[in-house]
A and B are shown apart, each in its own frame.
Chain A
Amino acid sequence: MKKYLVDLTVKSVVRLNETCVLLSMTDDKPLPDSRPGQFAELRVDATPNVMLRRPISIHSFDKDANIIEFLVQVVGDGTRWLASLKEGDKINVLLPLGNGFTLPGEAGKRMLLVGGGVGSAPLYGLARELKQRNVDFAILIGARSAKDLYRRSEFEALGRVEYTTEDGSLGQKGYVTNHSLLSEKFDYIYTCGPKPMMMAVARYARENSIPCEASLENKMACGLGACLCCVENTTEGHKCVCTDGPVFSIDELKW
């Protein structure tokens, strides 16, 4: 897919809790096309401590409304700057990057989407796409606490959503891999979230012989496969998360 370097206009920044915002952007021209699971590199003009772009997964892309959205969790100076953007601000964006999730080629499959915290971000765009394609799916999202579950009503508008929280404030208490939803039959699993969670999901998938894809977020610089910083050690050696991923089949991962 052709990649673009564009100055986008901030449409809104909505604070979802003390650490996370929903960043919506648009442009006068049609936004570059993107697929669920792809990401963008956002240029940050903050402090000298932030020189590199920040890779953020695409939360949703609405072609008709010409809006692209990102969930940004504040973890340092760069993301703090992104969260402080105001309506009308311009930001330079490199997109679309990486390969998205593999979409089902045949009908009749039942998919499971497993997200953890802000890692649920790209699963929203995926769920929208699956719904549009009339694919049967269920969503399972885990977090520490109810306040760390993002965009609940939007997810719930797309289909069945189940939750787990570590403190039991919403859904079943515990981890996603303990949820009763997993006793149902699924043909394919997509997961994105903290690495320990994804590894547990991958273990469940292997034990039950379910194909599974995981979206990784290794630290990266260029996003274009040039710097070779974001590598994951796969069954075929070091692969770039930015261009060979960020979505990998768990069969490729040494988890």
Chain B
Amino acid sequence: MTASGTFGYGLEFADFVDLNKLGGFIVKGTTLNAREGNPYPRSAETPMGMLNAVGLQNKGVDYFAQNIYPLLKDMDTNVLVNVSGACIEDYVACAEKVAALDKIPAIELNISCPNVKQGGMAFGVQPASAAEVVSAVRKVYPKTLIVKLSPNVTDITEIARAVEGAGADSVSLINTLLGMAIDAERRRPLLSTITGGMSGPAVKPIALRMVWQVSKAVKIPVVGIGGITTGSDAIEFLLAGASAIEVGTANFMNPAVTGEIVDYIQDYLVRHNMSSVHELIGALQV
């Protein structure tokens, strides 16, 4: 699949990738109401990675349902919507509206958003607040509920267990790592928000470690995300315990990368005499 916020609505990449060849793609962070996002500059390149502070710019769930969904609904792949919010009521209302869209089989709940009613601390950094938002959404969302976990925590397995207990069908990880970049000559931050989310190949070892830990801690399937840039990277996440993977920042480096990763996985299975990718999941030999 493709990671939220890195593949637009999929159509932006149609010249480079046969979208039907993908397991699915995850539409960018969608909120109840339209959001303008953060001021420019919102990105900074870092060694083998980048920081972003887009701030969930999107036109809101109603716009998506009316204008984008009709373009995507007949695709022969899974179109998922990443649902974000600033308070539990917004998450619930947004998830309900997406639930009404027949051809969207699942949502990915972004719990890394700051809770504006509770001092701005992200829902996903404490087991109780993470479980609270997942329980609330679970009540209104009957289809597959994937919860995207923040890596900016002391023990990600604790959060994973909490959201599993609250009814999540799956967890995806990792969201971006909180980071910062400075222009030394101008003595100023490179992002308008000073800090931002780090992604790209540089975060892969951390993501791989967290996927390994979480897949041991929960019974629900784990979706691996974090710096996946090559087919080999994807295989590594499956071996660490992921049942599926998402490709994010690599789409900015090579817009055709997802198709190439699918081809690599198929070739890998042939080379290793495997009949299904399921044989790779958690198959790390230690």
Q: Give me the interface of A with B, judged by CB distance under 8 Å.
A: 2-5, 43, 48-53, 92, 94, 218-222, 224-233, 237-238, 243
User: Is the Cβ of A221 less than 8 Å from the Cβ of B57?
Assistant: no
> Please, how many angstroms separate the alpha-carbon atoms of A51 and B47 in the complex?
7
User: Is the Cβ of B253 less than 8 Å from the Cβ of A52?
Assistant: yes
> 4 closest A-B pairs (Cβ-Cβ)?
A226-B8, A229-B43, A221-B252, A222-B252
User: Is the Cβ of A221 less than 8 Å from the Cβ of B48?
Assistant: no
Given contacts A50-B45, A51-B200, A51-B201, is CB(A222)–CB(B255) below 8 Å? yes
Contacts of B36 in A (CB 8 A): 237-238
> Please, how many angstroms separate the alpha-carbon atoms of A231 and B58 in the complex?
12
Q: How far is the CB of A212 from chain B (nearest CB, A)?
A: 21
Residue of A nearest to B47 (CB): A48
Residue of A nearest to B29 (CB): A228
User: Is the Cβ of B12 less than 8 Å from the Cβ of A224?
Assistant: yes
Residue of B nearest to A243 (CB): B12
Given contacts A224-B8, A237-B36, is CB(A52)–CB(B52) below 8 Å? no
Mask, B1-33, CB within 8 Å of A = 1, is 000011110001101100000000000100000
Chain B interface residue count, CB cutoff 8 Å, equals 34
Contacts of B45 in A (CB 8 A): 49-52
User: Is the Cβ of B57 less than 8 Å from the Cβ of A228?
Assistant: yes
By secondary structure, the A interface counts as: loop
Residue of B nearest to A220 (CB): B43
Can you list 25 A-B contacts with CB-CB less than 8 angstroms, sorted by A residue number? Answer: A2-B15, A3-B16, A48-B48, A51-B253, A52-B45, A52-B50, A52-B253, A218-B40, A218-B41, A221-B43, A221-B52, A224-B8, A225-B12, A226-B5, A226-B12, A227-B6, A227-B52, A228-B5, A228-B37, A229-B41, A229-B43, A229-B54, A238-B36, A238-B40, A238-B57
Contacts of A49 in B (CB 8 A): 45, 47
User: Is the Cβ of A232 less than 8 Å from the Cβ of B43?
Assistant: no
Q: How far is the CB of A41 from chain B (nearest CB, A)?
A: 9
In the complex, whether B254 has a CB less than 8 A from a CB of chain A is: yes
User: Is the Cβ of B50 less than 8 Å from the Cβ of A219?
Assistant: no
Residue of B nearest to A232 (CB): B40
By secondary structure, the B interface counts as: loop
User: Is the Cβ of B252 less than 8 Å from the Cβ of A238?
Assistant: no
Q: How far is the CB of A220 from chain B (nearest CB, A)?
A: 8
Within 8 A of A (CB), among B235-286: 249, 251-256
User: Is the Cβ of A227 less than 8 Å from the Cβ of B15?
Assistant: no
> Please, how many angstroms separate the alpha-carbon atoms of A234 and B41 in the complex?
14
Contacts of B57 in A (CB 8 A): 228, 231, 238
Q: How far is the CB of B202 from chain A (nearest CB, A)?
A: 8
User: Is the Cβ of B37 less than 8 Å from the Cβ of A227?
Assistant: no
Residue of B nearest to A2 (CB): B15
Contacts of A227 in B (CB 8 A): 5-6, 43, 52, 54, 252
Mask, B49-60, CB within 8 Å of A = 1, is 110101001000
Contacts of A4 in B (CB 8 A): 15
Contact of A231 among B6, B42, B251 (CB under 8 A): B42
The residue among B16, B200, B251, B255 with the most chain A CB atoms within 10 A of its own CB is: B255
In the complex, whether B39 has a CB less than 8 A from a CB of chain A is: yes
> Please, how many angstroms separate the alpha-carbon atoms of A3 and B8 in the complex?
16
> Please, how many angstroms separate the alpha-carbon atoms of A207 and B149 in the complex?
53
Q: How far is the CB of B23 from chain A (nearest CB, A)?
A: 18
Contacts of A220 in B (CB 8 A): 43
Given contacts A48-B47, A52-B253, is CB(A219)–CB(B41) below 8 Å? yes
Contact of B40 among A3, A94, A233, A243 (CB under 8 A): A233
Contacts of B41 in A (CB 8 A): 218-219, 229
User: Is the Cβ of B39 less than 8 Å from the Cβ of A229?
Assistant: no
The residue among A43, A227, A233 with the most chain B CB atoms within 10 A of its own CB is: A227
> Please, how many angstroms separate the alpha-carbon atoms of A225 and B68 in the complex?
15
> Please, how many angstroms separate the alpha-carbon atoms of A148 and B55 in the complex?
38
Contacts of B48 in A (CB 8 A): 48, 51
> Please, how many angstroms separate the alpha-carbon atoms of A3 and B47 in the complex?
28
User: Is the Cβ of A43 less than 8 Å from the Cβ of B47?
Assistant: no
> Please, how many angstroms separate the alpha-carbon atoms of A237 and B201 in the complex?
32
> Please, how many angstroms separate the alpha-carbon atoms of A226 and B254 in the complex?
13
> Please, how many angstroms separate the alpha-carbon atoms of A219 and B6 in the complex?
16
Contacts of A5 in B (CB 8 A): 15-16, 254-256
Contacts of A53 in B (CB 8 A): 252-253
Residue of B nearest to A229 (CB): B43
> Please, how many angstroms separate the alpha-carbon atoms of A219 and B15 in the complex?
23
Contacts of B28 in A (CB 8 A): 226, 228
> Please, how many angstroms separate the alpha-carbon atoms of A3 and B255 in the complex?
11
> Please, how many angstroms separate the alpha-carbon atoms of A225 and B7 in the complex?
9
> Please, how many angstroms separate the alpha-carbon atoms of A49 and B45 in the complex?
7
Contacts of B40 in A (CB 8 A): 218, 230-233, 238
